[in-house]
C-alpha cells in the first residue's frame, strides 16, 4: 500500500495515557512508528491534584506504619523531566500539577480553570521544544479534549494541529459533564482530525470537514505463532470450542447472546478468556455445563488460548460505546487464521469478506453451524487461513501512520492550493 509518509518532521504527541501504562495503547505504538522517519516528542499525561491525593491514600494504606511517605507521588516528582527513549524519540514528563476541575458546575469557570491547566502544560512543552530545537512542529493530540483544547494557540511553533479520535469517551460518566461540548470544540479547533474507524471519521466530519479514517495499526507477530503449548487449565475442555478473548464486560458483550449460543449448541464448548465484571459473575453462565471462564491471563499467553479455539467470536452489544470502536481483536483472530463470527457494526463492515457478520442471536448459531457442518472443511483450509492472515497484516502501524501522512498532505494541498 503506497502512502505519502511524514518524513523529517518535528512531531509532538500529546498523550491522554501515560507512557508507563502497563496496558499497550495505540499512541505509544504510533510514537515508535513515527520516530522511524521523524523527531518525536511524546508528552506524558500530567497528574492533577485529585489523582495525586488518591495515589497518596492508596499507597499509604498499603504501607506499614502511619504517616508513611507516598512513594507513588514521590516517583512522579523524581521522574526525569526529559527521557530519551531512542535516537529520535523523547518523553517529556511535565513538572507541573493541574487543578482538579471536573466537578466545577459552571461552564465559564470551568473553561477559565481549564485554560490555566492548558497553559501550565504548554509552558513545559515550549521550553522543551526550544531545548530540542524543534520548529514548525506537527502536534497530534490523542483524544484529550480537556488538556489539549487550547494547545494550538499556546504553542507558537505548532504548524499543524491534528486531533486523533479513537473512542467515544463522552458517554462515560467522568467525561459526560463537560466532555460533550469540549469534544465538539476540540474537533472544530483542530486543523484536521484522524480517526481509527470510518464511523468516528464520519462522526467528526459533522464539525470538521478535514476528518479522515486512518484505520488501526496492530502488533500481530505473537498471533502468527503456531504449535503453541496447550494451557493446562483448558486441556480437558472438549472440542469444538467457540472462544472469546478480552475483557468480559457487560457494557461491551451481550450476555443473552452468549447464553443463546450455549443453549442452542450444546455440542460446543463456549470458552471466555479474560477478566469478568460483576454482571457476568451473576449472569448464570458459570452454571452452564458447556461454558468455561479462565479469568484474566498475561497478554503474551493469549495466543496459546486462542490457538485452541475452533471458531472465534465477538458477541458485542451495539451501543454508543462499541458502535464506533475499531475491533482490534478481530485482526488478532484473523492473524491466527481462525474463522470468526462477530456482531455487525459500521466498524465491522471492512471485515465483511473475511468474517461472518451477525445481527441476531439466530444469525450467530446459523453461522457457527454452517462453519462446523462444512463437509469439505473449507473454512479450516490452509488457503483460507492464509487469506485471513494476509488481510489482518494490512492493518499495520506502518499503514496507519502512512494514512496520517496522506491526510496531512491532502489537508496542506487544500489549504494552500
Question: Domain boundaries in the chain?
Answer: 10-217+396-416, 221-393
Query: What is the reported pTM?
Result: 0.83
Residue 73: the pLDDT is 38
Kindly report, residue by residue over 262-313, the tens digit of the pLDDT.
999 999 999 999 999 999 999 999 999 999 999 999 989 999 999 999 999 9
Of the candidates 331, 130, 144, 295, which has an alpha carbon nearest to the alpha carbon of residue 223? Answer: 331
Q: Are strands 241-245 and 269-273 parallel, antiparallel or unpaired?
A: parallel
377-408 pLDDT tens trace: 899 999 999 999 999 999 999 999 999 999 99
Q: Rounded to whole angstroms, what are the CA distances from 55 to 46, 61, 69, 97, 223?
A: 14, 10, 11, 14, 36
Nearest to 325 by CA among 390, 408, 246: 246
Model pLDDT, residue 23: 60
Phi, psi (deg, nearest 5) at residue 161: -110, 120
Q: Give me the residues of the chain with pLDDT under 50, please.
A: 63-78
Collapsed DSSP state (helix, strand, coil) of residue 144: coil
DSSP per residue, 276-326: B-HHHHTSSGGGSTTEEEEE---GGGHHHHHTT-SEEEE-B--STTTTTS-
Write a three-state SS string for 251-276: CCECHHHHHHHHHHCCCCEEEEEECE
Within 13 Å, how many C-alpha atoms sit on residue 327's CB side?
Answer: 32
Q: In terms of DSSP bridges, do strands 356-358 and 82-86 run parallel, antiparallel, or are they unpaired?
A: unpaired
> Do the beta carbons of residue 293 and residue 244 sit within 8 Å?
no
Q: Is residue 212 a contact partner of residue 164, using CB atoms and an 8 Å limit?
A: no
Quote the CA–CA distance of 187 and 59 in Å, as a whole number. 38
How far is Cα of residue 118 from the mean position of the Cα atoms in its chain? 24
Query: 221-393: which CATH topology?
Result: Rossmann fold (3.40.50)
pLDDT of residue 54: 79
- Hey, which bits of 124-232 come out as E strands? 137-142, 158-165, 192-195, 211-213
CA–CA distances in Å: residue 49 to residues 21, 61, 100, 385 = 20, 18, 6, 51
Query: In terms of DSSP bridges, do strands 137-142 and 89-92 run parallel, antiparallel, or are they unpaired?
Result: unpaired
Output the CA angle 214-216-221, nearest 5 degrees: 140
Q: How far apart, in whole angstroms, are the C-alpha atoms of residue 223 and residue 299? A: 11
CATH 3.40.50.2000 is right for the domain spanning 10-217+396-416 = yes
Common-topology check for domains 10-217+396-416 and 221-393: yes
Amino acid at each position: 500500500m503506497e502512502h505519502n509518509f511524514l518524513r523529517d518532521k518535528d512531531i509532538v504527541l500529546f498523550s491522554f495515557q501515560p507512557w508507563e501504562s502497563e496496558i499497550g495503547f495505540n499512541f505509544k505504538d504510533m510514537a515508535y512508528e513515527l520516530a522511524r522517519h521523524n523527531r518525536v516528542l511524546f508528552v506524558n499525561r500530567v497528574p492533577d491534584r485529585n489523582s495525586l491525593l488518591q495515589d497518596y491514600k492508596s499507597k499509604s494504606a498499603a504501607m506499614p506504619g502511619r504517616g508513611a511517605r507516598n512513594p507513588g507521588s514521590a516517583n512522579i516528582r523524581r521522574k526525569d523531566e526529559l527521557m530519551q527513549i531512542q535516537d529520535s524519540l523523547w518523553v517529556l514528563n511535565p513538572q507541573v500539577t493541574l487543578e482538579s476541575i471536573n466537578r466545577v458546575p459552571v461552564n465559564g469557570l470551568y473553561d477559565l480553570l481549564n485554560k490555566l491547566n492548558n497553559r501550565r502544560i504548554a509552558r513545559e512543552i515550549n521550553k522543551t521544544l526550544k531545548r530540542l530545537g524543534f520548529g514548525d512542529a506537527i502536534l497530534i493530540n490523542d483524544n484529550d479534549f480537556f488538556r489539549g483544547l487550547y494547545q494550538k494557540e499556546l504553542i507558537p511553533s505548532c504548524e499543524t494541529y491534528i486531533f486523533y479520535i479513537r473512542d467515544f469517551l463522552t458517554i462515560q460518566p467522568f467525561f459526560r459533564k463537560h466532555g460533550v461540548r469540549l469534544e465538539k470544540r476540540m474537533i472544530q479547533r483542530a486543523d484536521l482530525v484522524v480517526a481509527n474507524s470510518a464511523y468516528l471519521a464520519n462522526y467528526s466530519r459533522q464539525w470538521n470537514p478535514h476528518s479522515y479514517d486512518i484505520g488501526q495499526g496492530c502488533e500481530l507477530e505473537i498471533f502468527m505463532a503456531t504449535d503453541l503449548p496447550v494451557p493446562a487449565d483448558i486441556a480437558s475442555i472438549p472440542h469444538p470450542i467457540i472462544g472469546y478473548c478480552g475483557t468480559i464486560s457487560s457494557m461491551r458483550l451481550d450476555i443473552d447472546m452468549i447464553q443463546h449460543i450455549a443453549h442452542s449448541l450444546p455440542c460446543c464448548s463456549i470458552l471466555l478468556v479474560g477478566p469478568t465484571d460483576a454482571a457476568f459473575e451473576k449472569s448464570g453462565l458459570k452454571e452452564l455445563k458447556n461454558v468455561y471462564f479462565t479469568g484474566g491471563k498475561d497478554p503474551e499467553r493469549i495466543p496459546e488460548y486462542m490457538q485452541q479455539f475452533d471458531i472465534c467470536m465477538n458477541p458485542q452489544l451495539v451501543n454508543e460505546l462499541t458502535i464506533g470502536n475499531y475491533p482490534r481483536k478481530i485482526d488478532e483472530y484473523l492473524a491466527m487464521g481462525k474463522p470468526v463470527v462477530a456482531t455487525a457494526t459500521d466498524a465491522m463492515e471492512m471485515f465483511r469478506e473475511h468474517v461472518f457478520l451477525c445481527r441476531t442471536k439466530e444469525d450467530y448459531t446459523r453461522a457457527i453451524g454452517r462453519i462446523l457442518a462444512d463437509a469439505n472443511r473449507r473454512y479450516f483450509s490452509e488457503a483460507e487461513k492464509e487469506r485471513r492472515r494476509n488481510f489482518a497484516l494490512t492493518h499495520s502501524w506502518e499503514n496507519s501512520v502512512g494514512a496520517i501522512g496522506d491526510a496531512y498532505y491532502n489537508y496542506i494541498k487544500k489549504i494552500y492550493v
